[in-house]
Amino acid sequence: MSPALVALLALPLWACGDKAVGTDSGAGGDDSGTIDGTDVPEGAVAEAGPALVGHVGEVLTLDGSGSVGESFLWDFGDGERVEGEAVVDHAWAEPGTFTAVIQVTGADGGKRSDSTTVTITLPAADVPPSRSSPLAVGPDGVVWAVFPEAGEVRRCEGDLSSCRSVAVCGDPRALAVRAEGADDARVAVACAEDGAVVVLDGDGVEQARHDLGPGSWPWSVAWHAERGLVAALAGPGEVAFVDEGTRVPVGPEPRGLVVAPDGAVYAARYRGDADGNRVYVVEDGAWTDTLSLAVDTTPDSDTTTRGTPNLIEQLAISPDGGTLLVPALHANILRGEYREGVPLAQDQVLRAVVGTVDLASGAETARKQLDERGRTIAVVPSPSGDRLFALHPGSQAITVLSATSLDVSGAILGLGEHPIGLAFGDDADRLYVLSWLSRELRLYDISALPSPPSLLATAVLGDTEPLDPTVLRGKQLFFSSADTRITTSGYIACAHCHPDGGHDGQVWDFTDRGEGLRNTTSLHGMGTGALTADPDLGLATGRLHWSGNFDEAQDFENDIRGHFGGTGLLSDPDWAESSDTLGPEKQGRSDDLDALATYMHSLAETPASPDPIAVDESDLFTASGCAECHSGDAMTDSARTEGIRHDVGTLTDASGGRLGGELDGLDTPTLRGLWETAPYLHDGSADTIGEAIVAHTDVDADTAERLATWLRGL
């Protein structure tokens, strides 16, 4: 028996009324006469009225005034019924989504029914949560958004009719507005690359600049009602109380940040691992707990995947303060031919998820997987708390969910290139979207959802474009999973495994690709910064991948066509001629593919380390033989036109092959930026730099630790 039929049979008979036998496709209207030969009760009309949203204990009015009949019976969906008038008041004692049904009895005794939905949430907390986001609306209705490449924030009036840019710092990534009144707005901006937090007043005038040190990488910032500014420092793994000048060590890579109404601070680890992911909890200025986000081992299906929650960049808390909302990418690191004899498939590699954590118990209560979406970067509750808006940057879409059941209730599509921020103003029907790589702010009227929303206004993100047009185009392609030339079904973007051009921290089973277990490498530092598609001018680190199986960035066309499920950026004749990754060059055959390569060539820098070098161990590095392979400024002997590989004693059965053949060695990786690229080695078998060095043949532990300390500072 189908679940739908079971649910129907479970309804009380009167709730079905004549609809159960198909006498009317909807409620209301003139019910006299017959439909399909079936008598319709004379004078009985059932109209339950509009859907309602309210809080626990709040008296709501169910408006059945459109109903006509001799008597009216309401079932409120919470176990209570009342017989009386068509318009009634009721209060619900528990949060949830309820179906309220009105039964109308006509003059001839026949019964009709209609239903409406009532969503009940807990009342909002006295102190609203403060979350870090690339987009925020202040208490004065002013809209603020970051523009990382320009080093600016954009300040716009609420209707987006008037905007201006404010130069603030290098690489602003997130901001938060203090909500203490329209006349005293303060905007805190997290400047990742600069290692600083800047505070602006409501007009955008700088009030303070807090230098948190090179390599601190403050990705997020929020306001604490009692302790002032709070920042998540991804570099040293700390939560900083900026105004107090104190720091709390919490663990690797805190990014997403939110302050709960009770003052607890929650910071999510950005990249998960084989054990899952976690959210750090700081209370009263000290680390107190870690909330676990476990690996999901439920078998893969057409609409779900197993995996670890990854790339958690923003957090939110429900308006009542009781539920932590976690947007993530589900990385299916359990699947693969070596691991379980099942190849990776483009629709089973990753999937967008929204997780919920009950803050009273600290337990994850639900994890909603969203089909045909590759990543959730943000999830924002509606002001009343009845709905959640999950933002998917690659597929340029929002999924609307019930906050109580996580059932999908709608979608907003076509948001522009790589949207990264959502925010509500005072009006719950007005939703702002920051479409980063379209360089645009958007304002939607969502009052008619689930019908398509109206786009009320747009505004440009900046006055000038800081990137070369080819680099910007390549960046848009790199971050997109909406372009069917790149991927089918909206799952995979280059940036889903190489976020911001970096790495996802995962080890994938690429055995079905003719390779093996492969630890995702960062693309930072691979380019020379030259604005060219020519690989001889653009590549700084030689051949690509652990086995050196690509010799130009344009070879990612092979991944696009073979593993992303895309139709490709090359024409079919050009693809047929250049599909061999070490054969004829793809460069010069497609403007878009060359733009994609040019963006990757622009990734010339590695992130600054939080651990400055105390002792120069370069002589030990050379004496130990490391410089024989890790040579030159790029610290690699890899060359684009030569196949240089080494077996340093780390190959195993799990290492698989190379281009479908024997794996005789590994392409030498750069050692620049090692501090943030854990795990290490081609198969991710080393958790630390020291372990990776010891895994090489003939390296003792003491030498390894000295070298590891030095390399971490590069």
First CA to last CA distance, the chain:
63
Confirm if 548 and 542 have CB atoms less than 8 A apart.
yes
Q: C-alpha angle 25/408/97, rounded to 5°? A: 75
Triad 359, 365, 368: Cα angle to 5°: 125
Average pLDDT over residues 655-664: 97
Contact 99, 290 (CB under 8 A): no
Question: d(Cα 293, Cα 308) in Å, to the nearest integer?
Answer: 8
Cβ neighbours, 10 Å, residue 22: 10
In Å, how far are 440, 491, 585, 709 from 478, measured between CA atoms?
18, 13, 20, 34
pLDDT value of residue 3: 37
pLDDT at residue 122 tops 90: yes
Q: Distances from the Cα of 217 to the Cαs of 176, 212, 238, 379, in angstroms?
A: 17, 8, 10, 23
Cβ atoms of residues 337 and 512 within 8 Å: yes
Q: Longest Cα pair distance anywhere in the chain, in angstroms?
A: 101
CA distance 20 to 574: 60
Per-residue pLDDT, averaged over 549-569, amounts to 97
Cβ atoms of 294 and 316 within 8 Å: the answer is no
User: Phi and psi of 105, rounded to 5°?
Assistant: -100, 125
- Enter the pTM of the model: 0.92
Residue-level pLDDT at 24: 32
Between the CA of residue 279 and those of 251, 294, 626, what are the distances in Å? 10, 11, 37
pLDDT at 656: 97
**Cβ atoms 353, 370 nearer than 8 A:** yes
| Res 618 pLDDT > 90 | yes
CB 464 within 8 A of CB 446: no
581, 547 Cβ separation under 8 angstroms: no
CATH 3.40.50.980 at 130-466, yes or no: no
pLDDT average, residue stretch 649-665: 97
- What fold is seen in the domain 3-121? Immunoglobulin-like (2.60.40)
Given a cut of 50, whether residue 307 has pLDDT beyond it is yes
Is the pLDDT assigned to residue 38 strictly greater than 90? no
373 token code pair: 């979406």
Residue 108's pLDDT band (cuts 50, 70, 90): confident
Q: Mean pLDDT throughout 9-31?
A: 34
Token digits of residue 370: 């969203």
CA distance 370 to 645: 41
What is the rounded CA–CA span in Å between residue 267 and residue 256?
A: 5
- Looking at the chain, the whole-number percentage of residues with pLDDT higher than 90 is 90
Higher pLDDT, 446 or 1: 446
For helices 591-601 and 469-478, angle between their N-to-C axes, nearest 10 degrees: 90
pLDDT at 14 exceeding the cut of 50: no
Q: CB under 8 Å to 171, separation ≥6 — which residues?
A: 148, 151, 191, 192, 193, 194
Looking at residues 75-89, what average pLDDT do you find? 96
pLDDT at 182: 55
Contact 685, 695 (CB under 8 A): yes
CA angle 430-151-520, nearest 5°? Answer: 90
Looking at residue 42, its pLDDT comes to 63
Residue 594 has pLDDT above 50, yes or no: yes
| 497 CA to centre of own chain | 12
| φ and ψ of 437, to 5 deg | -85, -5
Return the sign of the alpha-carbon dihedral for residues 10, 15, 21, 27: negative
CA 237 to chain CA centroid, nearest Å: 20
**Residue 355: per-residue pLDDT:** 98
* Residue 538 and residue 528 in contact, taking contact as beta carbons nearer than 8 Å: yes
Mean pLDDT of 215-226: 97
Share of the chain above pLDDT 70, in %: 93
Does residue 233 contact residue 265 with C-beta atoms inside 8 Å? no
Residue reference for tokens 């079971």: 6
**Could you read off the pLDDT of 407-417 as tens digits, one per residue?**
999 999 999 99
Mean pLDDT of 426-433: 94
Contacts of 415 (CB under 8 A, 6+ apart): 396, 397, 398, 433, 435, 442
Contact call for residues 43 and 30 (beta carbons, < 8 A): no
* Predicted confidence (pLDDT) at residue 19 exceeds the cutoff of 50: no
Band the pLDDT of 426: cuts 50, 70, 90. Answer: confident
So what's the pLDDT on residue 395? 97
Cα–Cα distance for residue pair 119/366, rounded to 1 Å: 19
Q: What is the pLDDT of residues 312-334, one digit of tens each?
A: 999 999 999 999 999 999 999 99
DSSP state string for 665-694 = -BPPPP-TTGGG--SBSTTS-BSSHHHHHH
Pair of tokens at residue 2? 């189908």
| Separation between Cα atoms, residue 496 and residue 310, nearest integer Å | 10
Domain boundaries, the chain: 3-121, 130-466, 471-712
- Measured between alpha carbons, how far is 668 from 638 in angstroms, rounded to an integer? 6
Cα 669 to Cα 543: distance, rounded to the nearest angstrom: 10
Q: What is the mean pLDDT of the chain?
A: 92
Q: CA 197, CA 188: separation in Å to the nearest integer?
A: 7
CA distance 53 to 286: 38
- Three-state SS at 526: coil
CA pair distance 133, 424, nearest whole angstrom: 12
- Would you say 345 and 300 are in contact if contact means Cβ atoms under 8 Å apart? no
DSSP reduced 3-state for 115: strand
- Which of 175-179, 222-226, 481-485, 509-513 bottoms out in mean pLDDT, i.e. has the lowest? 175-179
